[in-house]
Structure 1
């Protein structure tokens, strides 16, 4: 569908998915925030909101901005999705209710307590393997060696996946998040492996593949109780595998990058390791690993004196909202004194990330191990960005660790 933007809506001719913007989205985000509460992007025939108030309002307003037409640029009302839609992210009440009700207690802070000791031990073991016998100064890639290695070690175990094939999780998730954007070169890059990776992920969601003590088994047990159907159970497991690794990897990467470039904040975290969750949430606000999501107007929705017409897509720029000076004091500063709850890095409302407590526990475990062993953390070379249509990510992040005596 094509529409002409009313003259009352500012028009900004920018491509949010260009490599130039993906390399550094901050100038575009500022321009869109300054342009107005509702902006027109003619390149994609698309409305956009970049200010905190409007982004948050759109996220929580699932009645007028539902997710069931897809949270990417593609509109499921007119085009076939590349895989069955997520029962959590791409569904609305009442279809969203049962899957969410099943998964929320499985991933709640109370339920995760049983994993705490093991994850802290796993983090200590990972860090020891990198640092023991390596001298007083160690250089490594914080992405491959820490941000990727730890989630790929503990999260698949918690879901109940077998050890073989876990390397498929990252490229599968990367393509899934790329597919929320336009059909550009990033989507084309992942296309040759889509069938292979999708088949592998689907196979991991089967009851007989999963261990009997993980998140996956608990989901299948809910189908036995009749809380969800047997057909829904593997799709809910798939949601964990799609969104539960890449987002945490890039959240940890954001936190490591923030602390490496803010030595005073690292010192404060070492003095108060119990602030690890604050450090992680502030990094999610500051860097916003999930930069964008889409919704579709179910009715004409007024925003800022203009209207998003029924059936039209709206782009919500979470990263821009999380640095909006209209809401945050000194938004470009990474500050452990900030109270970051309220950021939209995990979404907001009924579709808010159900796995955020898992990510926070992973961060707490990893940084507890690092702060115990590392006195100083600093950059050791030029980092490299990984471009994705939805995610703000690092390909590599060379760091130098000065070990405590």
Structure 2
């Protein structure tokens, strides 16, 4: 079994976090409210088997009904595209302030302070407006000139090698090189960013053994992140310094600025690492689609969207019902937890057709919910897309073929779908 670092856009830890609790005992099954005509299942989406391969359970949940009661956690599960989209876009009925994990953070202590992902208006509005001033279309366009040479150089080096691991040699190297530079944090110690992201995102799941493993070195990792995202340690001109300038102007508070710097840093690394790995896995498994990309490198944007849809990095998180509501005829009582399966919605045949489980560059995947939707849609997604696109274009221009040399190894993570190893062999263009 492999427990390895993964990623997320999450809020920052408090300076003196509480000790990490031991994995909680398995709770007694919960009974669905008797007035809800909803299927009830004992399946555990957070079991090691389902985290390694979530798609059979996704199909089972989609077929069971638009809303399913999860007995183990006492929460509702929604897997079909239309209700997932509806919940994501109705931020007043289905709030984020209850936390993205199974516990209601309004009623229980958490290891970190609530940041942009786990806040609602008006707090969320101010934080998002402040972040949008820094991460804008124009600022992202300027990054292309800085991000492209490192992508090209790294890919050329790996192609010349002939075989490499997509995760260890590319996906975990390139984002940690370019994005922290853009944020403006120091070079030394950047290896802490992956375990920090792993903690942040694994905290959106239950307090299981996966969570406990992610928090094994919590004190040292948190201390490094807190220190190196301080204003005094941020390079002038970077995104981090820009966020603090918004605070100087009164757009956000100093506390919110600190949270945003750390949230941006973790989100800009972790999901991008996963996105690069998952996208190249899709292309290695589908040589005909790789040929299409090589023939037309402008398809890189479509390849990114299709891979994000098919192998969504962020698979699931919770919302909390603020009031009694109805989802496809099912009554959801106020304060209920709802587990949204974005990975399942992105493969729902009702939305994507009978070939929803296939990778197809001719598909229009622009409606996928891999980055959320509505008020909480990821602000930093243009940067992640840019990095994945630049890697694809560099590889398409350098390698004639990309082939798996053995089966990829799943990375066990509470909410991200990633791999800890994707070994490939490449044939250089013209070779």
- TM-score, length-normalised on structure 1? 0.96
Which contiguous aligned blocks of 4+ residues in structure 1 show a shift greater than 6 angstroms?
Answer: none
Contact 1:383 1:394 in 2 (8 A): yes
Mean Cα deviation higher: 96-105 or 318-327: 96-105
Equivalent residue runs for 1:384-395 within 5 Å: 384-395=409-420
Q: Distance in 1 between matches of 2:184 and 2:401?
A: 36
Residue 33 of structure 1 pairs with residue 62 of structure 2: yes
Secondary structure at the counterpart of residue 208 of structure 1: helix
Residue 50 of structure 1 pairs with residue 62 of structure 2: no
Equivalent residue runs for 1:347-386 within 5 Å: 347-386=372-411
Contact 2:159 2:427 in 1 (8 A): no
Among candidates 119, 127, 131, match of residue 99 of structure 1: 127
Q: Distance in 1 between matches of 2:122 and 2:59?
A: 37
Q: Deviations over 1:2-22 (max 9, x none)?
A: 663335110111000001111
Alignment match, 2:422: 397
Q: Deviations over 1:255-282 (max 9, x none)?
A: 0000000001111111111221211111
Among candidates 312, 322, 337, match of residue 313 of structure 1: 337
Secondary structure at the counterpart of residue 126 of structure 1: helix
By how many angstroms is 1:142 displaced?
0.6
Secondary structure at the counterpart of residue 352 of structure 2: coil
Equivalent residue runs for 1:56-135 within 5 Å: 56-86=85-115, 88-132=116-160, 134=161
Q: Deviations over 1:152-186 (max 9, x none)?
A: 11111111011001101111111211111111000
By how many angstroms is 1:343 displaced?
0.4
Among candidates 36, 44, 48, match of residue 19 of structure 1: 48
Among candidates 322, 326, 351, match of residue 327 of structure 1: 351
Residue 299 of structure 1 pairs with residue 327 of structure 2: no
Residue 147 of structure 1 pairs with residue 171 of structure 2: yes
Q: Distance in 1 between matches of 2:288 and 2:67?
A: 38
Among candidates 2, 5, 8, match of residue 37 of structure 2: 8
Q: Distance in 2 between matches of 1:228 and 1:104?
A: 12
Among candidates 370, 380, 405, match of residue 345 of structure 1: 370
Q: Distance in 1 between matches of 2:61 and 2:255?
A: 42
Q: Distance in 2 between matches of 1:265 and 1:308?
A: 42
Secondary structure at the counterpart of residue 244 of structure 1: helix
By how many angstroms is 1:192 displaced?
2.6
- Count of aligned residue pairs for this structure pair: 400
Please tell me the root mean square deviation across aligned C-alpha atoms, in Å.
1.3
Contact 1:5 1:40 in 2 (8 A): no
Mean Cα deviation higher: 191-200 or 148-157: 191-200
Alignment match, 1:265: 289
Contact 1:160 1:217 in 2 (8 A): yes
Secondary structure at the counterpart of residue 331 of structure 1: coil
Secondary structure at the counterpart of residue 89 of structure 1: helix
Contact 1:74 1:180 in 2 (8 A): no
Q: Deviations over 1:113-150 (max 9, x none)?
A: 21111211111111223234x4xxx1110111111111
Q: Distance in 1 between matches of 2:306 and 2:134?
A: 25
Structure 2's unaligned 5+ residue stretches are 1-26
- TM-score, length-normalised on structure 2? 0.91
Contact 2:322 2:334 in 1 (8 A): yes
Structure 1's unaligned 5+ residue stretches are none
Contact 1:205 1:235 in 2 (8 A): no
Q: Distance in 1 between matches of 2:369 and 2:39?
A: 24
Equivalent residue runs for 1:155-174 within 5 Å: 155-174=179-198
Q: Distance in 2 between matches of 1:169 and 1:5?
A: 42
Q: Distance in 2 between matches of 1:337 and 1:400?
A: 26
Q: Distance in 1 between matches of 2:310 and 2:102?
A: 25
Q: Distance in 2 between matches of 1:392 and 1:122?
A: 26
Alignment match, 2:9: none
Contact 1:201 1:241 in 2 (8 A): no
By how many angstroms is 1:393 displaced?
0.5
